[in-house]
């Protein structure tokens, strides 16, 4: 719709495509760049009604607002490529990255003349209202939040007094939130694998499930973590590394999430598996040990 | 009571004194060694009706069964001292140690001619029935379990088919159980400290407590962990190191619990504090950073 901004989405994976669909009513057009992307990404982009402009440089020339929704380890690379194309619009980094990584990405795109907004998505892929928040910080936050009005993705600007808080706040909130949910999930899987290795797994579950135990739900939690988490582990490992960096930047130990990154890295071959059972996930954790240590 | 065994307890701290009280009805006498122990230990030992034999060597000469209940980092040292005194009775190591540490302690006392039973205590200090289990493994397990019959401490022999499982099984169960309870507690404290450092703590708690959230109880959990855990952190750090060793022995990452050991080490000055509030615990975590890194 003319008068509305042209918005570009880098990259429309499952989350990115859903965010693009949320922003679409507020946009003249929503662009994506098919160069080097998979057939699955193309299907998602077409289903979300996105217009293919070919490559990232063309998207940077045509878009006034860019949304970066990519695996955490690609966030700085994307910001660097966007800055390299001379983009000078509004750049929203909605990735699961540490505050120092967000500030680094901001410096890169701001040096090219663009404005940087820090975003952090908490919740599931937005398809139904009330399940997903996009937290925002940095001076352009209100303009970004306005794009999502009326959508199923609730945009929340983090304030201090009446101004948006600086770049880094939205990322910090995303990091500390996922630090528990995904950190605890990795901890549970590691513990069950250790219990299997030591031959005490049934005893551990029995102890958790004793009458009156407050841990009775843990065995079910482990099954759910295996079924729902292991297929996403390939991209959670990078997120865990960013969380470790978040804690270390605060002078706290990064070891919880370095270990979680290791656990999820061992599960990379279960990418997109259909609800793998816990014993299969534990077997992957325990058999990967030697190959992982060689890989370094 | 003549005909019943003489039992020695090394060392009657809070847990050890309560275990000694549980075993007392089955014993002729229960001994302790006051040499080098604190006034608080003496009060507990006297309250539990234990007989002071002076030093560890005298206890080893007089006891037929020894129970070791001490901080994890002292377990091998105690086993070494007992073996050095030529003790050849039944030795029960009920400490929170890794299976390899238990097997190492077993080699030490067995070389001196004693029999080794592996124990792991799960639950609170035993004062009321139904709240504490002493898991046992190794060939002498049944003789040890018999001592606790009718007491508030439930002794459970870990079996495979009809025989007790080997030394290491009881320790593995204790380690994997505490790996979650105390590992998660340290994770929560680290996350809240990071959120405070980044200025998003109130936002994180608000996100946890959104309507319909499954994490609504976490804020209360953090307060409880601070109040009840921080005063015990001085001895939990050694236990975390043993849990890290347990995971590493299974080829899994030890980083979760190395980080937890670091968190609890930073709280050592809150030893025996009276239910410290969360903000005080977080302040201790964040201010200890520089002194800790110098200490190495």
Which ipTM score applies to this complex? Answer: 0.95
Nearest by CB to residue A255, choosing from B122, B169, B256, is B256
Give B262→chain A minimum CA distance, Å: 7
Q: Where are the domains of chain B?
A: 6-165, 171-295
Nearest by CB to residue B176, choosing from A191, A253, A263, is A191
Beta-carbon separation of A172 and B199 below 8 A: yes
Task: For residues B296 and B291, give the distance between their C-alpha atoms in angstroms, rounded to a whole number.
Answer: 9
Give B79→chain A minimum CA distance, Å: 23
**What is the chain A residue with the closest CA to B292?**
A251
Size of interface A-B (CB pairs under 8 A): 172
Give the pLDDT mean for A9-34: 95
Which of B118, B242, B263 lies closest to B177, judged by CA? B242
- DSSP bridge pairs for A164: A159
- On the question of pLDDT at A294 being above 50, the answer is no
What are the chain B neighbours of A173 within 8 Å (beta carbons)? 195, 200, 203-204, 207
**What is the chain B residue with the closest CA to A258?**
B255
Which of A113, A156, A153, A115 lies closest to A137, judged by CA? A156
- Distance set, CA B107 to CA B9, B69, B100 (Å): 20, 18, 11
Which of A230, A216, A225 lies closest to A274, judged by CA? A230
Give B259→chain A minimum CA distance, Å: 5
| DSSP string across B213-241 | -TTTTHHHHHHHIIIIIGGGHHHHHHHHH
Q: What angle do CA A124, A129, A132 make, to 5 degrees?
A: 30
Task: For residues A263 and A233, give the distance between their C-alpha atoms in angstroms, rounded to a whole number.
Answer: 8
Beta-carbon separation of B256 and A251 below 8 A: no
What are the chain A neighbours of B166 within 8 Å (beta carbons)? none
Beta-carbon separation of A190 and B247 below 8 A: yes
pLDDT for B294 equals 46
Position with higher pLDDT, A179 vs A294: A179
Q: Walk along chain B (296 residues) and give the pLDDT tens digit of each residue.
A: 568 999 999 988 999 999 999 999 999 999 999 999 999 999 999 999 999 999 999 999 999 999 999 999 999 999 999 999 999 999 999 999 999 999 999 999 999 999 999 999 999 999 999 999 999 999 999 999 999 999 999 999 999 999 999 999 999 999 999 999 999 999 999 999 999 999 999 999 999 999 999 999 999 999 999 999 999 999 999 999 999 999 999 999 999 999 999 999 999 999 989 999 999 999 999 996 545 444 44
Give B15→chain A minimum CA distance, Å: 20
| B193 CB-side CA count, 13 A | 28
**Under a CB-based contact definition with an 8 Å cutoff, are residues B137 and B168 in contact?**
yes
Give B211→chain A minimum CA distance, Å: 9
Task: For residues B180 and B199, give the distance between their C-alpha atoms in angstroms, rounded to a whole number.
Answer: 28
Which of A257, A269, A142 lies closest to B186, judged by CA? A257
Beta-carbon separation of B215 and A180 below 8 A: yes
Which of A127, A152, A117, A148 lies closest to A25, judged by CA? A148
Which of A281, A283, A271 lies closest to A234, judged by CA? A271
pLDDT for B2 equals 60
- Counting residues of chain A whose pLDDT is more than 90, the rounded percentage is 93
Cα distance from N-terminal residue to C-terminal residue, chain B? 51
Beta-carbon separation of B207 and A133 below 8 A: yes
pLDDT per residue as tens digits for the range A251-281? 999 999 999 999 999 999 999 899 999 999 9
- Distance set, CA A149 to CA A7, A24, A117, A154, A265 (Å): 15, 11, 17, 8, 37
Domain B171-295 has CATH 1.10.1040: yes
pTM of this structure: 0.95
The total number of residues written for chain A in this structure? 296
Strands B29-32, B51-52: pairing is parallel
To test the contact with chain B by mutation, choose from A170, A185, A200 the residue with the greatest count of B C-beta atoms within 10 A, namely: A200
- DSSP bridge pairs for A116: A91
pLDDT for B296 equals 41
Q: For the domain with range A6-166, which CATH number is right: 2.70.98.60, 3.40.50.720, 3.30.365.10, 2.40.160.150?
A: 3.40.50.720
CATH superfamily for B6-165 is: NAD(P)-binding Rossmann-like Domain (3.40.50.720)
- DSSP bridge pairs for B32: B52
**Sequence-distant (≥ 6) Cβ neighbours of residue A266 within 8 angstroms:** A284, A285, A288, A292
């Amino acid at each position: 719709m003319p008068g509305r901004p042209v918005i570009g989405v880098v990259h429309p994976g499952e989350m990115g495509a859903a965010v693009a669909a949320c922003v679409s009513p507020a946009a003249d057009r929503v662009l994506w760049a098919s160069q080097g992307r998979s057939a699955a990404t193309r299907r998602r982009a077409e289903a979300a009604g996105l217009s293919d402009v070919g490559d990232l440089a063309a998207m940077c020339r045509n878009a006034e607002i860019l949304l970066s929704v990519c695996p955490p380890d690609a966030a700085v690379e994307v910001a660097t490529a966007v800055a390299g194309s001379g983009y000078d619009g509004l750049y929203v980094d909605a990735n699961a990255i540490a505050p120092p990584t967000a500030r680094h990405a901001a410096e890169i795109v701001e040096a090219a003349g663009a404005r940087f907004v820090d975003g952090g998505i908490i919740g599931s892929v937005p398809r139904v209202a009330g399940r997903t928040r996009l937290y925002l910080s940095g001076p352009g936050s209100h303009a970004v939040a306005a794009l999502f009005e009326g959508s199923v993705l609730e945009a929340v600007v983090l304030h201090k007094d009446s101004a948006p808080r600086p770049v880094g706040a939205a990322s910090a909130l995303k990091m500390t939130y996922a630090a528990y949910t995904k950190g605890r999930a990795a901890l549970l899987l590691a513990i069950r694998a250790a219990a299997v290795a030591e031959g005490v797994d049934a005893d551990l579950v029995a102890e958790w499930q004793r009458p009156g135990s407050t841990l009775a739900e843990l065995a079910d939690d482990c099954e759910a973590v295996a079924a729902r988490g292991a297929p996403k582990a390939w991209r959670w490992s990078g997120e865990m590394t960013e969380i470790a960096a978040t804690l270390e930047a605060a002078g706290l130990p990064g070891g919880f999430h370095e270990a979680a990154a290791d656990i999820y890295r061992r599960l990379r071959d279960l990418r997109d598996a259909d609800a793998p059972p816990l014993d299969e996930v534990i077997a992957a954790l325990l058999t990967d040990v030697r190959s992982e240590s060689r890989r370094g």
